[in-house]
């Protein structure tokens, strides 16, 4: 069964007609053409598909696109500024070499930013309990360092 859905992704409205069973992840990638959000396990376990919906982190592979009609969705493409300058967290990831292959990086960044928006990640000590993305490359120490750099800069008003 097809349904009309309006997805608001990174401030851009996408009026789409999709099967009611299409995941938000597949709609973002295959219908809206935003390929930064990655398909990892497709079971909600790895976090590669993490997006922010109305200020909360969600794994987009486990939610139906049609259930987010009119919701504000932010993907990795919406993190950098409009002029293309990287977000301070993205810069911190580069500074700390917090990725290897980079496939999981968009989901990790969205999880960290979502944790901050939700209020569950405001201190360095909360990093291990707030960011649950899995990565085969295992750059967890560098991800923690990059996140800590961003949190400190944010607290000091430098980001």
Nearest to 96 by CA among 61, 142, 43: 142
- Judge contact between 78 and 9, C-beta under 8 A: yes
CA-CA distances (angstroms) from residue 158 to 23, 112, 143?
37, 17, 19
Q: Is 2-78 assigned to CATH 3.40.50.720?
A: no
Question: pTM, whole model, 2 decimals?
Answer: 0.93
Distance CA 80, CA 84 (A): 6
Q: Where are the domains of the chain?
A: 2-78, 88-155
- The CATH topology of domain 88-155 is DNA polymerase; domain 1 (1.10.150)
In tens, the pLDDT along 112-151 reads 999 999 999 998 888 887 877 888 777 788 999 999 999 9
> What is the pLDDT tens value at each position of the chain, 159 positions in all?
899 999 999 999 999 999 999 999 999 999 999 999 999 999 999 999 999 999 999 999 999 999 999 999 999 999 999 999 999 999 999 999 998 888 999 999 999 999 999 999 998 888 887 877 888 777 788 999 999 999 999 999 887
């Amino acid at each position: 069964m097809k349904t009309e859905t309006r997805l608001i992704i990174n401030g851009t409205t996408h009026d789409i007609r999709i099967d009611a069973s299409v995941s938000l992840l597949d709609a973002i990638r295959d219908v809206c053409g935003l390929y930064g959000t990655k398909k990892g396990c497709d079971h909600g376990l790895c976090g590669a598909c993490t997006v922010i919906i109305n200020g909360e982190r969600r794994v987009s592979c486990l939610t139906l696109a049609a259930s987010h009609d009119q919701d504000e969705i932010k993907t990795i493409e919406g993190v950098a500024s409009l002029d293309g300058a990287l977000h301070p967290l993205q810069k911190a990831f580069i500074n700390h070499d917090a990725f290897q292959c980079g496939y999981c990086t968009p989901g990790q960044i969205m999880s960290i930013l979502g944790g901050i928006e939700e209020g569950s990640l405001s201190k360095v000590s909360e990093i291990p309990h707030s960011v649950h993305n899995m990565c085969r490359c295992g750059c967890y120490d560098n991800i923690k360092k990059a996140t800590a750099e961003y949190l400190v800069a944010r607290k000091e008003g430098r980001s």
